[in-house]
A = this chain, B = another copy of it.
Amino acid sequence: MTRPDPGAIVQPTLRARRLGLHTQHQPVVLMRTDCHVCLAEGLAGRPQVLLSAAGREVRAALFQVEGNSLLGPDEAALSETAWEMLGVTEGAPIAVTHAPALESLASVRSRIYGHRLNAAAFASIVGDVATARYTDVHLAAFLTASAVLPLDEEETIDLTAAMIGVGDRLSWDAPVVVDKHCVGGLPGNRTTPLVVAIVAANGLIMPKTSSRAITSPAGTADTMETLAPVDLDIAALKRVVEQEGGCIVWGGAIHLSPADDKFVRIERELDIDTEGQLIASVLSKKIAAGSTHVVIDIPVGPTAKVRSEENARHLAERMRMVAERSGLEARCLLTDGTQPVGRGIGPALEARDLLAVLRNAPGAPDDLRRRAASLAGVALEIGGKSEPGKGAALALKTLADGRAWTKFQAICEAQGGMRAPPLAAQTHPIVADRAGRVVHIDNRKLARLAKLAGAPDVKAAGIFMEARLGQDVERGQPLLHVHAETAGELAYALDYAVAAGDIIRVET
């Protein structure tokens, strides 16, 4: 078949307008139904359009506006996400055209129909995801398709490589760069800032980038943010690590894995967290951060993310294999996941636990201290700072003699200045309805309760634990305290506490 030259097509343009509109991170453009571009281009009913300005292109969801109250007929109003991506100024001309078909969606459809994908397909999908070409519907379909039929080892390796491929990558002038990760699911298990402080205090390099919460009440970045700025760019991160040997910053701000940030937002909305995605997410960020070794904490317990030792061993082996194939050495530790670690759940409350341990305060949670020391110990052994089997003792000593606390303060100052975590305006106890012994603590319900109270978005919100497994309690004795910023959120969380049944089970 032949076709003629369609001739020079005039780019239909509108004037850019900034609305200050936050659209759940989606690029969105608002245009009048009767604007000349909608009419000339036949855009009515199209879900997406292509915006172009000064060499940049953005695919945006098209919202149409009837009537003249909101927009002029020659205006294209952009959501904040679209505005930042397109990098325009108020009134600048924007060309609006049909969004071309995304070839990578054929691969997503293929996986929806149950076929496995190859490296090229993952590279193409992740490339389009990282540049925000996918709608939330596309993202949700890809993530779901990769969960129902779980990614196999080859697919996980390919997804990991694809995710590294689209981000920036750091390099360090050191033979060993250690990293640490916890697969999560255990409230309050906030060892990372302690591990970084201990490891850096002993002279190793640990450029730690952390995520915000996905399905939990707090991510390390959320917690650390109550103590120091975490939104550092790559230059600032390098400066902090070169000066102090370690950092604890938010990974999302430095684009080590731009696709991952998009995936995480949707996983959060769906409240899912799958093995393949988890491995690719974790390893891609470690490799991009320039790490050579990573210590991985896998808490195991009936209400933790990993529920059985069998599942934990499978995850550990898959993680180790994918890491090896990706040029990274992973060491996995299976740890106790039967109850929360420390006393706080939620960003600020967990930060208070960290400070207590670092300062050797009386009553500082010993379980948190020992966990951090065992993870830091492995890192110290890997890095040759300790003989095999003696790393944990060195780590505990580094905490006890105040060197970790000194290093942590230095890191916070280098990241922009240390600050005190906030306290919630509203607190309310949940008390034992009988005398007896604490026999079960439901980590999932605790996490839900803390989230309903406002964590992680409300930094001071969460739970302060009083009860531990095996403890004897009196009737009316507080088992935990809910912390919230507003009466509405407190009531919302307490409603759930009543409906949820035993969060902490006491048996006579």
The proximity string for A residues 30-62 relative to B, scoring 1 for CB distances below 8 Å and 0 otherwise, is 100100000011101111000000000000011
Residues of B within 8 A of A139 (CB): 137
| A384 interfacial by beta-carbon distance below 8 Å | no
From A2-10, A158-166, A200-208, A232-240, the one touching the partner chain is A2-10
Q: Are B497 and A20 in contact (CB under 8 A)?
A: no
Bound Cα distance A424, B12 (Å)? 21
The answer to whether residues A489 and B21 also contact, given A6-B494, A145-B144, A147-B112 and a CB cut-off of 8 A, is no
| A490 interfacial by beta-carbon distance below 8 Å | yes
Distance (whole angstroms) from the CB of A483 to the closest CB of chain B = 12
Residues of B within 8 A of A47 (CB): 24, 269
Q: Are B503 and A137 in contact (CB under 8 A)?
A: no
Distance (whole angstroms) from the CB of A201 to the closest CB of chain B = 35
From A321-329, A330-338, A427-435, the one touching the partner chain is A427-435
Residues of B within 8 A of A487 (CB): 6-7, 9
Residues of B within 8 A of A461 (CB): 42
| A74 interfacial by beta-carbon distance below 8 Å | no
The proximity string for A residues 326-361 relative to B, scoring 1 for CB distances below 8 Å and 0 otherwise, is 000000000000000000000000000000000000
| A454 interfacial by beta-carbon distance below 8 Å | yes
Q: Are B137 and A479 in contact (CB under 8 A)?
A: no
Q: Are B488 and A40 in contact (CB under 8 A)?
A: yes
* Cβ-defined partner of A148 (8 Å) among B20, B114, B498: B114
The proximity string for A residues 466-508 relative to B, scoring 1 for CB distances below 8 Å and 0 otherwise, is 0000000000000100001111111110111110001110000
From A63-71, A171-179, A243-251, the one touching the partner chain is A63-71
Residues of B within 8 A of A485 (CB): 42
Residue of B nearest to A490 (CB): B6
| A439 interfacial by beta-carbon distance below 8 Å | no
Bound Cα distance A495, B64 (Å)? 27
Copies of this chain, complex-wide, total: 2
The answer to whether residues A21 and B498 also contact, given A1-B504, A9-B487 and a CB cut-off of 8 A, is no
Residues of B within 8 A of A266 (CB): 137
Residues of B within 8 A of A138 (CB): 140, 269-270
Distance (whole angstroms) from the CB of A115 to the closest CB of chain B = 10
Q: Are B109 and A270 in contact (CB under 8 A)?
A: yes
Q: Are B1 and A63 in contact (CB under 8 A)?
A: no
Bound Cα distance A97, B492 (Å)? 10
| A149 interfacial by beta-carbon distance below 8 Å | yes
Residues of B within 8 A of A42 (CB): 454, 457-458, 461, 484-486, 488-489
Q: Are A112 and B144 in contact (CB under 8 A)?
A: yes
Q: Are A46 and B114 in contact (CB under 8 A)?
A: no
| A105 interfacial by beta-carbon distance below 8 Å | yes
| A98 interfacial by beta-carbon distance below 8 Å | yes
Residues of B within 8 A of A136 (CB): 135-137, 140
Q: Are A479 and B112 in contact (CB under 8 A)?
A: no
Residue of B nearest to A63 (CB): B23
Bound Cα distance A7, B495 (Å)? 12
The proximity string for A residues 300-323 relative to B, scoring 1 for CB distances below 8 Å and 0 otherwise, is 000000000000000000000000
* Cβ-defined partner of A147 (8 Å) among B44, B113, B491: B113
Q: Are B140 and A144 in contact (CB under 8 A)?
A: yes
The answer to whether residues A2 and B431 also contact, given A24-B63, A45-B457 and a CB cut-off of 8 A, is yes
| A119 interfacial by beta-carbon distance below 8 Å | no
| A272 interfacial by beta-carbon distance below 8 Å | yes
Residues of B within 8 A of A253 (CB): none
| A419 interfacial by beta-carbon distance below 8 Å | no
Distance (whole angstroms) from the CB of A226 to the closest CB of chain B = 16
| A152 interfacial by beta-carbon distance below 8 Å | no
Residues of B within 8 A of A7 (CB): 487, 491
Distance (whole angstroms) from the CB of A146 to the closest CB of chain B = 9
Bound Cα distance A80, B139 (Å)? 25
Q: Could you say which of A40, A61, A64, A140 has the most chain B C-beta atoms within 10 Å of its C-beta?
A: A140
Q: Could you say which of A7, A64, A503 has the most chain B C-beta atoms within 10 Å of its C-beta?
A: A64
The answer to whether residues A486 and B40 also contact, given A112-B144, A114-B148, A148-B111 and a CB cut-off of 8 A, is yes
The answer to whether residues A112 and B270 also contact, given A23-B63, A148-B148, A458-B42 and a CB cut-off of 8 A, is yes
Residues of B within 8 A of A44 (CB): 457
Q: Are A20 and B69 in contact (CB under 8 A)?
A: yes
Q: Are A141 and B6 in contact (CB under 8 A)?
A: no
Bound Cα distance A70, B22 (Å)? 12
Q: Are B109 and A1 in contact (CB under 8 A)?
A: no
| A19 interfacial by beta-carbon distance below 8 Å | yes
Q: List 23 A-B contacts (CB under 8 A).
A: A1-B479, A1-B503, A6-B494, A20-B65, A20-B70, A21-B64, A21-B70, A23-B63, A24-B61, A41-B486, A41-B488, A41-B489, A42-B454, A44-B457, A98-B492, A105-B271, A111-B148, A112-B144, A112-B270, A137-B139, A137-B140, A137-B266, A141-B270
